[in-house]
Structure 1
Amino acid sequence: MSVSAAAVATPAPAASVPHTAMVLAAGLGLRMRPLTLTRPKPLVEVGGAPLLDHALDRLAESGVERAVVNTHHLGAMIESHLADRSSPAITLSPEADLLETGGGVRHALPHLGTDPIFVVNADILWLDGPIPALKRLAATWDPAVMDVLLLLMPTVAAVGYDGPGDYHMEADGRLRYRAEGELAPFVFAGVHIVKPELYHAITENRFSNLRLWQQAEEAGRLYGMRHDGVWFHVGTPEAVEEVNTLLGHPILHDAKLSQPRKAEP
């Protein structure tokens, strides 16, 4: 039986935060044009800093020590932007050809180790609730029953999102992708934990993470956790303008947004 948007997966005991993250920053940003004609989408500024910096700062604040960032469109700009960053430590994974989300992670496997990792879309923005979302996700992660754990946002509360949603969530957190033409109460929020070993079973170079999620769902090992803060769908120039306006609202203005970190002396 599916549950309401108030449900979350039950936290597992004593889980540690993954030390490594994969940050997906290689997309073309076609819907963000003309902003992405001169810069990659992750370097578009929202809330006073590039989207990529917001994601990396969240990872550093949650204890992630190393982030692997894939690049393609205007990748040299991302490389230059990250050159002085020290927390988390950055490893670049350039892609001559776009490999999609799953292929990008698979290509970077030599840098990711064997322990579970965060995978974060570099073009998203969120505000945390009382406990940082990444720490909540790590506390919920249970490798005994999970292969993939997605951060989810209630569809009706996702700022700037007008799609049909992605998933239904059971009482124990297990997920079911919506049927064609169906509305779903949760939308994927661009952050998840996954076991890198899952990528070794796929031989193609180019594929979407959705393929792994479908396999995990069929095995009963795809789980979700509801985000209890604010999540922004930033996909177009109009959305960037709208979110920047919203972040100027007194309530959201006082919420914590990470700022770019400088290299330590």
Structure 2
Amino acid sequence: MRPDIAIVLAAGLGKRMRPITDTIPKPLVRIAGKTLLDWGLDSLAAAGVGTAVVNVHYLPEQIVAHVAARRAPRIVISDESDRLLDSAGGIVKALPELGQQPFYILNADTFWIDHGPLNLRRLALAWDAAKMDILLMLADLHQATGHCGSTDFLVAPDGALRRSKGDPAGLIYAGAAIIHPRLF
């Protein structure tokens, strides 16, 4: 089953991108003529996602104005202006909008370029709600651009993940996942 809803984590402060983010939120930084946020929302739309919950905190009015004209996916704002809730807290706050079925999670500050089958659709094909609470999209460190740091996970033959502790054979988290709300 392919999720029809997603949360896009767009509430962060963007401290590592200062001074660029002194006046605009990181999700509105443009890469190749398109905002980081639009890279993610366009990927969701291409994968057939009908609704995206976008959480906001830092300079929220800019993100709200930016997404107002979008037609696909439909945007629902989860406002964290009063207090930054971090990733899990932002998801918990948005759970009433996300419903009881598995949903995508996208970081608003990462993007990928699909070659062939859409990565989000491939992720959905691998999803098995009977066996999984969460499924992460991973990438080879050597195929990533702009990633600072080491690897995140090693994949066992059965697909189970464990922290790589920087092992060069590991993979990096690519900023997208499918999660079942029962995890919360």
Instruction: Please indicate, yes or no, whether the TM-score normalized by the shorter chain is above 0.5.
Output: yes
Q: Which residue of 1 aligns with 2:123?
A: 137
CA contact 1:42–1:50 (8 Å) conserved in 2: yes
The alignment status of 1:62 with 2:60, answered yes or no, reads: no
Shift of 1:59: 0.3
The 5 Å alignment of 1:66-215 reads: 66-95=51-80, 96-179=82-165, 182-199=167-184
SS of structure 2 residue aligned to 1:163: coil
Supply the distance in 2 between the matched residues of 1:150 and 1:184 (Cα, whole angstroms). 17
CA RMSD of aligned residues (A): 1.2
**1:127-163 C-alpha deviation (Å, 9 max, x unpaired):** 0121000000000001111111000011222212241
Supply the distance in 2 between the matched residues of 1:103 and 1:53 (Cα, whole angstroms). 23
Larger radius of gyration: 1
Output the amino acid matched with 2:130.
Answer: A
**1:46-73 C-alpha deviation (Å, 9 max, x unpaired):** 0111110111011011110000000000
Shift of 1:178: 2.2
Once the two structures are aligned, what percentage of the paired residues are identical? Answer: 47
Change over 3 Å in CA distance of 1:59–1:118 after alignment to 2? same
Structure number with the bigger relative contact order (C-alpha 8 A, sep ≥ 6) is: 1
CA contact 1:166–1:184 (8 Å) conserved in 2: no
TM-score when normalising by structure 2: 0.95
Structure 1: runs of 5+ lacking an equivalent: 1-15, 200-265
CA contact 2:111–2:175 (8 Å) conserved in 1: no
Shift of 1:183: 4.3
The alignment status of 1:26 with 2:11, answered yes or no, reads: yes
Q: Which runs of 4+ in 1 moved over 2 A?
A: 181-184
CA contact 1:41–1:123 (8 Å) conserved in 2: yes
Structure 2: runs of 5+ lacking an equivalent: none
Q: Which residue of 1 aligns with 2:29?
A: 44
Supply the distance in 1 between the matched residues of 2:147 and 2:65 (Cα, whole angstroms). 32
Q: Which has the higher mean CA deviation after the structures are superposed, 148-157 or 70-79?
A: 148-157
CA contact 2:133–2:182 (8 Å) conserved in 1: no
Count of residue correspondences: 183
SS of structure 1 residue aligned to 2:112: strand
SS of structure 1 residue aligned to 2:172: strand
